[in-house]
Copies of this chain bind each other. A is one copy, B any other.
Amino acid sequence: MPRIISGKEAAAMISSGDRIMVAGFLVSGCPEYLMDCLYERDIDNLHLIAISTDYDDRGIGRLISKPHVKTLQVSHIGTNRTTQTRYKAGEIDIEFVPQGILMERIRAAGAGLGGIFSPVGVGTVIAEGKQTLEENGRTYILEKPIHGKYSLIRAKKADKLGNLVYNKMARNSNTVMAMGADITIVEVDEIVEVGELSPEEVVTPGIFVDYIVKKGE
Contacts and interface: CB of A to CB of B under 8 A. Distances in A.
Contacts of A144: 135
Nearest to A147: B136
B114 A117 contact: yes
A197 interface: no
Q: How many copies does the complex hold?
A: 2
A112 B117 contact: no
A106 to B, nearest CB: 14
Interface in A138-195: 138, 140, 142, 144, 165-166, 168
A200 B117 contact: no
A168 to B, nearest CB: 7
A190 to B, nearest CB: 16
B117 A133 contact: no
A66 to B, nearest CB: 32
A127 interface: no
Contact of A116 (B116, B166, B199): B116
Contacts of A196: none
A12 interface: no
A185 to B, nearest CB: 23
B168 A140 contact: no
B116 A133 contact: no
Contact of A115 (B108, B116, B201): B116
A207 interface: no
A119 interface: yes
Contacts of A166: 200
Contacts of A117: 113-116, 142
A118 interface: yes
15 contacts: A104-B113, A108-B116, A112-B119, A113-B116, A113-B117, A113-B140, A114-B119, A114-B133, A114-B138, A115-B135, A117-B142, A168-B199, A168-B200, A200-B201, A201-B201
Given A114-B140, A133-B142, 15 more contacts: A108-B116, A113-B118, A113-B119, A113-B140, A114-B117, A114-B118, A114-B135, A115-B117, A115-B140, A116-B117, A165-B200, A166-B200, A168-B200, A200-B201, A201-B201
